[in-house]
Structure 1
């Protein structure tokens, strides 16, 4: 009787640990998914390269991928 009770308790404990890990992993994935918000892609007016808007340099309504392209575009006009 004692061994049977021990096996039942051990099985319940392993089940509890497994469910707890599953829930934590699931919550972590949900947080990671929420943090990966898509950024608008914009095109460099000088070379045409696409890059995330958060990384682009903006001059009026134009976007540039680097300071060099921004200054070259300003010199060309």
Structure 2
């Protein structure tokens, strides 16, 4: 008689695992639209740091991570 309860418990556990699998797959499909969007990044011409283009200091076609690096690069050119 105890063996019957063990089989019923295992069957219920299997149904639970299968249901949880399908529920997680559904959640993953719904979360794909909420993924992080990529941004354009540039590299500082002075130190090589990569940063978002919107945060960079632009001098012509050259990008810097800060005004200090822009000034330091100008001093090196002179």
> Structure 2-normalised TM-score?
0.52
SS at match of 1:42: strand
Matched residue, 1:61 = 61
1:32-71 → structure 2 map (5 Å cutoff): 33=34, 37-71=37-71
Q: What is the number of residues matched between the two proteins?
A: 48
Runs (5+) with no aligned partner, structure 2: 1-29
Aligned counterparts of 1:69 and 1:55: Cα–Cα separation in 2: 14
Matched residue, 1:73 = 73
RMSD: 2.0
Runs (5+) with no aligned partner, structure 1: 1-25
Aligned counterparts of 1:58 and 1:43: Cα–Cα separation in 2: 11
